[in-house]
Chains A and B, each alone.
Chain A
């Protein structure tokens, strides 16, 4: 139960914090750009979106989101949440309060994961809103007439989330390790770009920073049908997550100097 309490306390810390605004604005950014192009240049979009408007719109959105924006937001969020303690010099108060090291480590972890969850929810909401709002302004669009493929959307969200676990665990550890938040962000972005360059490599399914894009690529087509619920890189993602979570926790637990 103490973990629940510690996590509630963590959520108060994130009120109006940079991480909160990043997730809110980050999730709204792309849907807003879509909304603008739909309303300002409908002529370019009518034909493309006529048959399967939601599939085309959501597919395009998730493609861009998975490749770069999503991992980048996760890298930033993982840095910003522990940064609240570094910036305010509050680690010492956290460690001097009656919380076990496990509660401290996992409550922050849970608050990062819930922030990523919030990002996912808001991104979906804003994507759907962009379509609906565009249709209300230009009724020639068919968003309101055609159904959303909820099954695809839920699967996409689920697989993306699993694919991100590896990055979350690595970035969280880095962010706890380095006081200067530029370090984990720099390492994270470097690895993300490297992963995108390495995309054609046959072992890309073992490179954590490529996982979100691989999950998107596997979300449609024949590959997805035969791969079952989890693709190989998603299983790797879970394994990385377990290993780095353990490493991060051990690092905090056995550190000689805290706060």
Chain B
């Protein structure tokens, strides 16, 4: 049984006017009912991808499908079924929370009752005549989420929804996302540059770096993937002989005076060292090399300690 896919992009490429490729063959697949963590460092292409999904950028190359429909030609049908929050909250600061919602209540034709429901849901029902200008950043973010929830969307696209929030705000937003997903089966795409945060709520993960998808799949698959991608790096005094010795057991390759072979575990490393030493080779260095993915993780996590 295959789970239906809510968002699917095929060979998506995008360049801004300066000619630099922002997206390079991005194939996104978001399963229905998932919380899809879209992870990558700043400038990786997350917002560009999400803007393309909403039609805020004109698609240049590749296919964009939401709810099984091509975006071009079904823009209104698609937008009616989703809610979005892109970058900073989009609010009319001279209006109250209720007035901000009334604007979109008209656009989505949801009925007035829904305004109070979403205000209740995000905990802003008591703000009364207070203007959005006087709201804290956390309150603004919650109001923006309330707008995104007005039409009871099947898909919620949230771009860095916890950016700038205090720890409490981050937890509240996370709980809200989980609640929507669990109680209303809302599919959520949530982008972030913080691995730690996404891991706490996502069921699926997509990792983008420099415009390319490095990983996509269920969260559990990530661990296996990390192991699969790792390589052992060996430096000896005679690489040619070392290759002859090791090639019967391992897929060895030589790269810039280093030998590379797929990393298994610590025992494997010790066994290889012993084997090479027994054959009279000098082993200068032997250690697991970080994969692109791990490199990326360090980048993602170290930026945000």
Contacts and interface: CB of A to CB of B under 8 A. Distances in A.
A and B interact physically: yes
Interface of A: 5-6, 8-9, 12-13, 15-17, 84, 88-90, 92-93, 95-100, 255-259
A86 to B, nearest CB: 12
B88 interface: yes
Interface of B: 51, 54-58, 76, 79-80, 84, 86-88, 90-95, 99, 102-104, 106-109, 147
A105 to B, nearest CB: 15
A257 to B, nearest CB: 6
A92 B157 CA distance: 13
A5 B90 contact: no
Contacts of A6: 106-107
Given A97-B104, A100-B76, A258-B56, A84 B92 contact: yes
A95 B56 contact: yes
Contact of A16 (B76, B94, B106, B109): B94
User: A5, A97, A99 — which one has the most chain B CB atoms within 10 A of its CB?
Assistant: A97
28 contacts: A5-B106, A9-B104, A9-B106, A12-B99, A12-B102, A13-B95, A13-B103, A15-B94, A15-B95, A15-B99, A16-B95, A84-B92, A88-B90, A89-B88, A90-B90, A90-B92, A92-B51, A92-B90, A96-B54, A96-B55, A96-B79, A97-B79, A97-B104, A257-B56, A257-B57, A258-B55, A259-B51, A259-B56
Nearest to A13: B92
Contacts of A257: 56-58
A88 B86 contact: no
User: B56, B58, B79, B87 — which one has the most chain A CB atoms within 10 A of its CB?
Assistant: B56
A250 B91 CA distance: 27
Nearest to A6: B107
Contacts of A258: 55-57
Contacts of A89: 87-88, 90
B86 A96 contact: yes
Contact of B107 (A15, A92, A98, A255): A98
B303 to A, nearest CB: 24
A190 B147 CA distance: 40
Contacts of B99: 12, 15
A210 to B, nearest CB: 35
Given A9-B104, A16-B94, 9 more contacts: A12-B106, A13-B103, A89-B90, A92-B51, A93-B84, A95-B54, A96-B79, A96-B84, A255-B58
A81 to B, nearest CB: 12
B103 A9 contact: yes
A98 B58 CA distance: 16
Contacts of A97: 79, 104, 107-108
Nearest to A257: B57
A95 B79 CA distance: 9
A99 B108 CA distance: 9
Contacts of B108: 97-98
B76 A88 contact: no
Contacts of A90: 90-92
B86 A92 contact: yes
Contacts of B91: 88, 90
Nearest to A16: B94
Contact of A9 (B76, B94, B107): B107
A57 B88 CA distance: 51
A17 B54 CA distance: 28
A132 to B, nearest CB: 34
Contacts of B90: 88-90, 92-93
Nearest to A96: B54
Contacts of B103: 9, 12-13
Given A16-B94, A17-B94, A96-B79, A5 B107 contact: yes
Contacts of B86: 92-93, 96, 259
A95 B55 CA distance: 8
Nearest to A258: B56
Contacts of A93: 84, 86, 90, 104, 147
Contacts of A256: 57-58
B107 A12 contact: no
Contacts of B109: 5
User: A9, A89, A98 — which one has the most chain B CB atoms within 10 A of its CB?
Assistant: A98
* 4 shortest interchain CB distances as A-B pairs: A93-B90, A98-B79, A98-B80, A90-B90
A250 to B, nearest CB: 15
Nearest to A99: B107
Contacts of B76: 98-100
Given A15-B99, A92-B86, A8 B106 contact: yes
Nearest to B133: A88
Contacts of A16: 94-95
A176 to B, nearest CB: 16
A84 B103 CA distance: 14
Contacts of B79: 96-98
Given A97-B104, A97-B107, A92 B92 contact: no
A98 B95 CA distance: 22
Contacts of A255: 58
Nearest to A18: B94
